[in-house]
Amino acid sequence: MKNMKITKGFSALLVTALVTTIAVVTPSAAQANTTCTKEVFAPSTGGSDVKYQKCTGTDWQGSKYEIRMPSKFNGMMYLYSHGIRGNHNMPKVPVIRPNGYVVDMSPEVAPGRTANDQQLMAEELLKQGYAVAGSGVSTQGWSVPEAVDANLALIIEAREKFPKIKKIVSWGDSLGGHISQSLSEQYDVIDAVANLHMAGSADSQYTYANDFLWMFKTFFDPTIKGNGYSSGTTGYMEYMGDITKVLTAFGTIQAAIGANPLAPAWPASSTAPAALKGIPVRSAVLLVGLLAGVPVQSNTYDASSGPAGPLETSFGLAISPALGVFENAFTALALALIGNYDAELRCGGTIFDNTTTDYAARLGDNGDVYAAGLSGKTATAGMLAYLNKLNPAAPRVKGNPAAINCIKNEQANYTGAVTVPTITISQTADQVTPAGFIQNFKELYASNVAAGTAKPGNLLNIWNKPPDTYTKFDAAGKPITPAVPTTGTSHFMYTNKDLLIIAKMLATAGKTGKLPSVASAKAAFKKNPNIFIDPDYKPELMFADRK
């Protein structure tokens, strides 16, 4: 885990930074003509120089777009949708935004781990004769309808500018995968789709993040507001104050676990009774993760390994799963805080409601599977009782009906009505878009096939899993966080090599109208032991998607 040092002056620094960061960037809605320039590059993999046109512009909504068209064009264009971006500026905030953030409206034309990887991916496709394109979207945050409209506008512009475009394939990353899928289902303009760790529905994503946030604040700092921010500057200050409190609680818990992993103490900000605080705080963290749906495997922790010595067995059984949740959960909290603030501005009120949620019923068999990590049945029962809606110390969140409708019904969620070849690739231990989202998509697709609104044989699910064991320890028995995120975890983008395999499958599907066979897809990834294709693999649904 990363070290999070919270200083006493942190809140003051945030307040100072707000003076210059509170304004939200508002793009111009003016129509701009497409401007093209002639470009050339020498492929990094060798071969002749590649000439292409780079065309940029802004559509009627204010969405910036980019098209790159090779001089030797084969008739197919890749349309890429980037992942979610914040819709408000932020100062430098440790861990969450260490470099600060200014709303980014720029388009991306290809996926990749870094800007350099994205450029290499785009160049490789251009070298093969494919055009690449992408839109920056006029509104950031969770903006599926706007992104779908932006992609449609881009397709119209691209076809008018380049009439030789005969096929268009769509792919996207995270929320971009959700956008890509929604576009393909709603409009007959896409020939094949590949979605990379695709986001779930807005309702399911926000429920996942908010469940963890609510339980975290209930156990560790009830002064965190979390939902129902005030309007204007007051609300922004409340939101930034919550970030400070979350960072402080996380830092305190982290220090406690580092000092005494077997029995770490609760943070002073917690108002839980002494009896509850007698339970190791790591057990509460693990429980919150299990009840929200956070993976127990993370970048550093495989939920099974322990250091050589007296902690070897107990660490794997009782400590590692909790630390996996803890490492993953910070992302869930950041998603909740940043996402709630953006979504409440968009939808006009509190988007989350847990007044009827039965958290105890969610535990199921996990109470036995993780009994050691939860410190036994008595401790588990005590923690569940504290989360009960009848406990006045754990007040529930009441949502705004119109705002909830905005999230559930106005954000153009995909429905599984798949009519073109569609590929998904997802990490089994992704803390941002857990595997359960793809399981729900599979079930939506099956329902549509049964109803005759989707074509059978049009969905291929590819999975990327972590190694069986991977946690490393130093000489003192401390876990070592890997420099490169562990495959199968961390919402980390796939390697360019894997992306090019997906791109090839996508192009073939776009040309033929058929998915690759399972056998040929497996053969394509035979050198990667962490990628598998198993139609019988069935991760648990996220709680919002369970009927």
Mind listing the pLDDT tens digit for each residue in 112-170? 999 999 999 999 999 999 999 999 999 999 999 999 999 999 999 999 999 999 999 99
Domains of the chain: 35-200+417-545 (3.40.50.1820), 204-406 (no CATH)
The token pair that represents 59 in the structure block: 């559509």
pLDDT confidence of 47, banded at 50, 70, 90? Answer: confident
According to the model, what pLDDT value does residue 94 have? 78
Instruction: Please report, rounded to a whole number, the percentage of residues in the chain having pLDDT higher than 90.
Output: 84
pLDDT score recorded for residue 462: 98
What is the number of other CB atoms lying within 10 angstroms of the CB of residue 142? Answer: 25
What is the pLDDT, as a whole number, of residue 149? 95
Residues 6+ apart with CB under 8 A from 474: 480
Q: Which residues contact 87 (CB under 8 A, 6 or more apart)?
A: 24, 103, 139, 140, 141, 143, 342, 345, 346
How high is the mean pLDDT of the chain? 91
Confidence at 6, pLDDT banded by 50, 70, 90: very low
Judge whether residue 13 has pLDDT over 50: no
Q: What confidence category does residue 46 fall into, taking pLDDT thresholds of 50, 70 and 90?
A: confident
- For 89, other C-beta atoms within 10 Å of its C-beta total 19
pLDDT at 230 over 80: yes
Query: CA-to-CA distance for 438 and 186, rounded, in angstroms?
Result: 19
Neighbours of 92 (CB within 10 A): 14
Q: Count CB atoms within 10 A of the CB of residue 76.
A: 21
Task: Say what the pLDDT of residue 330 is.
Answer: 82
Average pLDDT over residues 260-275: 95
Residue range 6-35: average pLDDT? 44
Residue 443, C-beta contacts closer than 8 angstroms, at least 6 positions apart: 416, 541
The pLDDT of residue 7: 40
Of 3-7, 134-138, 481-485, which gets the smallest average pLDDT?
Answer: 3-7
**pLDDT 10s digits, 72-125:** 999 999 999 999 998 988 888 877 788 888 989 999 999 999 999 999 999 999
Please report the pLDDT score of residue 370 as a whole number: 96
**What's the pLDDT band for 278 if we cut at 50, 70, 90?**
very high
Q: Which pLDDT does position 460 carry in this prediction?
A: 98
pTM of the full structure: 0.92
Say what the pLDDT of residue 2 is. 40
**Can you list the positions of beta strands (E) in 151-212?**
167-173, 192-196
Q: With a cut of 60, say whether residue 441 has pLDDT above it.
A: yes
Average pLDDT estimate for 399-419: 92
Least confident span in 41-50, 195-204, 212-221, 375-384: 41-50
Where residue 30 falls among pLDDT bands split at 50, 70, 90? very low
pLDDT attached to residue 433: 96
- The least confident of 10-19, 123-132, 309-318 is 10-19
